[in-house]
Structure 1
């Protein structure tokens, strides 16, 4: 197997891990939009430090400086309305569902290719590496083999695996 073929197979197997990372990124983005929705206010809010003159005399210099500043207006993030945020979250939901569907299809294709291998150890190494996302060092510990032996099993598995080209 040439180095180019090996790289192509590794990229093909890594698609599922990349799809999983995309799902996590979309979930995090959706959570950020949810936080924006809970932090918005419909009208500006004004803050004043202290109004009464007798209380002003008791202030420190820093408090007096802050008290003389113009009022602060707090708005909910960048003039977004609640409807804008809900629409963005809805679009993210659709994108997230599509990403989950794609990841499921990728997982099925990769799983079928791995299951077609005759050696159980090769199957297990490929599942650990490309589905569970473990490093070879972690696989060594789980399987009880040396690092070099896991490398050999991994290389043999890459030689023997047949890629399916059902790319969505």
Structure 2
């Protein structure tokens, strides 16, 4: 089977010129917008630790969000194909980045914590196992050089919460 290529074009516009450009480290804002076609723009900035606006998305949050979103999309697809009916899905994802003394750094790990609710009569064991397959297929997780761990929980509607598997 032939490989297919997919391109993703995103435009970044810096909106942080406060009048004197980058004349000094404190003279400019880190604010920018990301856009793609006719989609709503994403207001972005740097992490607040690096003089960013905490009300805007930063690249680190977007990376963790991309990993969470990619896993969820694969998982829902795999459940659908397996005849497992998911009625609820949430994830409290968490990423760890280490900053080095020279200002550089890298992510060292991301943990995804998907909480899945299934329709009554669903196979919770199979649903739990599909997280492993979703993790293996996620395009974003396969592209990063740090571990992406998963701590999933599955609950079937109508069963006691203690029946998570």
TM exceeds 0.5?
Answer: no
Instruction: Flag the structure with higher strand content.
Output: 2
Instruction: Flag the structure with higher helix content.
Output: 1
Q: Could you state the TM-score of these two structures normalised by the residue count of structure 1?
A: 0.28
Higher RCO (CA-CA < 8 Å; seq separation 6+): 1
